[in-house]
Chain A
């Protein structure tokens, strides 16, 4: 018995610019249980055939035929071109698919990037920047290293100090190219779970196309769907109903949407009754293609869901009710203004003011007075982050560069009026903030700021910074003829 070598197949779609269709990914699950998608261009699908025992002498040819058949089956992608690359790990399979005429092993930034991250899952912040990779290649060329093979011959002990962890990883991948040791974590494609219930009827005893029999059948199916939804802590917001009438090839769909998410058949049936009655009225005329036809199959599928909560109320708390109101509010806000418009805030351990917080998805917590702080009401809590100077309550998205001269700050001119001027009565500071030197390539790109709190004429208090070194004390500040970057207000 022949054993197919441990192989990874990469199916590259060079002309596909949008996301890979989900139907196509689902079809490929027929070839291998492990399928992964590349979410960036060039789009590609990866199939894992390791450990599959077959008696196939010409595996590549057969795979080509199978893939061609599957791509054609997905009707929307009939004209889609593809190329297959086979190798022992995902990175090389991807490279083979990109270079069908023969793998170009010459070092280039694209080749290195694709080898290191074939699935395009590594975040940009953790990747080597294009500038760093270009610097690598320049250095390697100077050392006489032009190909992947040359690179793999470098002693691993010296790589970490010269090229960092990514250089070491790259060398390991090139050296392991011929082995099956693929330590890559695959972002495996998992098809969406469908909640579908259906009931078939004997052609000799079909279901009459009348409201009550259809509702009676639907009730049974809805009960089953409700139980499945309850187990998943979900409620239905839309259900698709398909009726298969005798003598018709196509099924007739009917989408029923609920104003509020429903978790029980009792809650769904009134909407069903209303929609079905309307729909059946239309089929009663003799012109309708469904006139006089009986039903052979009823199928219900939950197409949209919302988070559900326990239906049994807590005796002591109203948390369940509040959680539902909270979810409902968030969904209304998202629908009207987008998900990014409503958020909660998470502090981030960064010194730069604009990076010291991050929005996060709102989460319901029972803090309605039932989860109380340790302090009695009316007592001001101790301020946190005492080791920092006081922060303002308003922060501009982008700092505004103000001209600073002789203790006067001048705002930039607008289209309609010249910039206003304000005299600074008192400076408080500086608070020096230097951050990001470990992320930037040159010292010029580091953030080095001396923050001051300025009390302006009229009492307005603003917050901003000079570039480091301009003013090291409050007295020097008044004379520093430099730009002051206004970043916030003590509003």
Chain B
């Protein structure tokens, strides 16, 4: 039987805040039934594309209508919904079919849908700033994004994503041209014939090194 008393013993001399923090961690670990593990900062593996999806960065999934990009993202969400936590699904004009999501095993009570119109990017920033969501799926038409400077908009979005450590998926019809300095950590393209994801780009889109670096899978 595990005893709580030694961990909380107040007889011992103060050992600094680091020791106290570790004791609190232990105490939280005991109550792990309630708390669960701390939020992961690891990248999440996406077997369908054989890559890892970084947290705190933008992942673009492109493909024409009916190519299977949304389906791939929905399957990924269903597979990692405990790690992703709450999910915000933002579209400028709502065409998602939640019953289809349900069939893939997505827990709809974790999802907040937003029909943002021209304010979709603004809504994405608000969601990221709230720090309540672990993932965002953003589906905006090119016309909505092009209303301002798309590169600057995406850079801002990437910074917000980095601060909130959330996975941000951008669903688009056309992939952004490669070689240009788009702030995308991962670019995938849905192949309608094979219904698989082709990797166009993988790499780090952030300047912050460390535990949140994108893992490269060959």
Contacts and interface: CB of A to CB of B under 8 A. Distances in A.
B69 to A, nearest CB: 6
B187 interface: no
Contact of A377 (B80, B95, B132): B80
Interface stretch (B13-21, B106-114, B206-214): B106-114
Interface string A363-385: 10101111111010111111111
B108 A344 contact: yes
A375 B78 CA distance: 11
B126 A461 contact: no
A357 B98 contact: yes
Nearest to A341: B115
A485 to B, nearest CB: 15
Interface stretch (A33-41, A142-150, A296-304, A322-330): A322-330
Contacts of A382: 105
Contacts of A333: 114, 123, 126
Given A325-B132, A395-B97, A316 B31 contact: yes
Nearest to B109: A365
B35 A393 contact: no
Size band of the B side of the interface? Answer: 35 or more
Nearest to A343: B113
Interface in B1-33: 28, 31
Contact of B96 (A365, A393, A458): A393
A362 B82 CA distance: 19
A174 B71 CA distance: 58
Contacts of B45: 378
B105 A491 contact: no
Contacts of A340: 115
B217 interface: no
Contacts of B75: 380
A185 interface: no
A178 interface: no
B99 A329 contact: no
B82 A322 contact: no
B70 A394 contact: yes
Interface residues of A, number: 62
A370 B132 contact: no
Given A385-B103, A459-B191, A491 B36 contact: no
Interface string B113-145: 111110100110011001110100000000000
Contacts of B134: 368-369
A378 B117 CA distance: 33
A368 B95 contact: no
A391 interface: yes
A372 B31 contact: no
Contacts of A397: 95
Nearest to B64: A460
B199 interface: no
A488 interface: yes
B114 A341 contact: yes
A343 B89 CA distance: 10
B68 interface: yes
A488 B67 CA distance: 12
Interface string B25-55: 0001001001111010000010000000000
Interface of B: 28, 31, 34-37, 39, 45, 63-71, 74-75, 78-83, 85-86, 95-105, 107-117, 119, 122-123, 126-127, 130-132, 134, 191-195
